[in-house]
Amino acid sequence: MNLNLLDEESIHPSEPTPCDFFTGEAAIQKVKELGLPSQEIIKQAIMIGDTDFRTHTQFNPARFIGRWGKIGEQLALLLRKSDTSWIYHNESQPRIENTAKKIQIIFMSGNIALGLADQVLSSHCSKGLMTLKNIKENQSTYSDNSKLRTWILYFPSASHPAYKGIDIPTIPFEFAYPTGFVQNPKVDKISILPANHTCRIAFEIDNTLPIKADPKPILEPSNEIRPDDFDIQLVV
């Protein structure tokens, strides 16, 4: 593994970074201002992913990565339906990009700090090379639309208290803009946690809402079924 992207400063704990934290109506307005996807699209993608996750038993160890993939899939489908400028990429790290807005979104489960302004937000588990590269390229401010900006969509892991406590009425998720990371010094490979978020935009899902159904996939024009795709012969 190439560790050249890790400089001496990177392997030490970073200093606290001032962070703009938005909730409620301010959060709704901020995503509109920055050109990020609406909270309703994110809510639907997470709820569909959770619904699919619940169809699997403890005997399916892939259900956790499947939940992450399902949320990403639904996010891509719903965004494409709302605005075809959003493009899904799957090279090395899945991401959704809008070149006109100079925004790309990577998605991952967040830690227990989701929705809590006084806690340090990061991912639920360590990340690798591509996350490191995307964070390293976030050198401009989160509101600077002259350069490509990488935002992280953090949603709760399946082990988050929101899924364990019967009296927790909301499920948190956030858009966050990382500008740093913390490298695990005990391993000889890239193993980082996103850090130094300068903007966090927090939302909640009503945990009492009916479960969303999985919508039909959106066919790209090249994948549409045409009558001449079938060679049907009548036998008499």
pLDDT digits (tens, 9 = 90+) for 19-62: 999 999 999 999 999 999 999 999 999 999 998 998 999 899 89
Number of other CB atoms surrounding residue 12 within 10 Å: 10
3: confidence class by pLDDT, cuts 50, 70, 90: very low
Higher-scoring residue by pLDDT: 32, 230: 32
Distance of CA 160 to the CA centre of its chain: 16
User: What is the share, in percent, of the chain residues with pLDDT greater than 70?
Assistant: 80
Q: How far apart are CA 16 and CA 197, in angstroms?
A: 9
- Residue matched to tokens 């109506």: 25
Give the separation between CA 122 and CA 30, rounded to whole angstroms: 21
End-to-end Cα spacing for the chain: 65
pLDDT, one tens digit per residue, over 113-147 is 999 999 999 999 999 999 999 898 898 899 999 99
Question: How far does CA 51 lie from the centroid of its chain?
Answer: 17
Q: How far is residue 230's CA from residue 118's CA, in Å, rounded to a whole number?
A: 60
CA dist., res. 167 & res. 136, Å (int): 40
Averaged pLDDT of the chain: 84
* 195-225 confidence digits (pLDDT tens): 999 999 999 998 776 655 555 555 455 444 4
Helix axes 39-53, 24-34, angle to 10 degrees: 100
Cα-to-chain-centroid distance, residue 66: 14
CB of 156 closer than 8 Å to CB of 168: no
Residue 188 clears pLDDT 70, i.e. is over it: yes
* pLDDT mean over 184-196: 90
pTM: 0.83
pLDDT at 231 exceeding the cut of 90? no
Average pLDDT over residues 74-85: 93
In this structure, what DSSP letter does residue 39 have? H
Say which residue, 159 or 104, is predicted with more confidence. 104
In the prediction, which pLDDT does 10 show? 45
pLDDT above 60 (res 96):
yes
Look at residue 185 in the predicted model and tell me its pLDDT.
85
What's the confidence (pLDDT) of residue 214?
59
Separation between Cα atoms, residue 156 and residue 58, nearest integer Å: 19
Contact 87, 99 (CB under 8 A): yes
Q: Identify the three-state secondary structure at position 31.
A: helix
Residue 174 above 50 pLDDT? yes
Structure tokens at 192: 């980082």
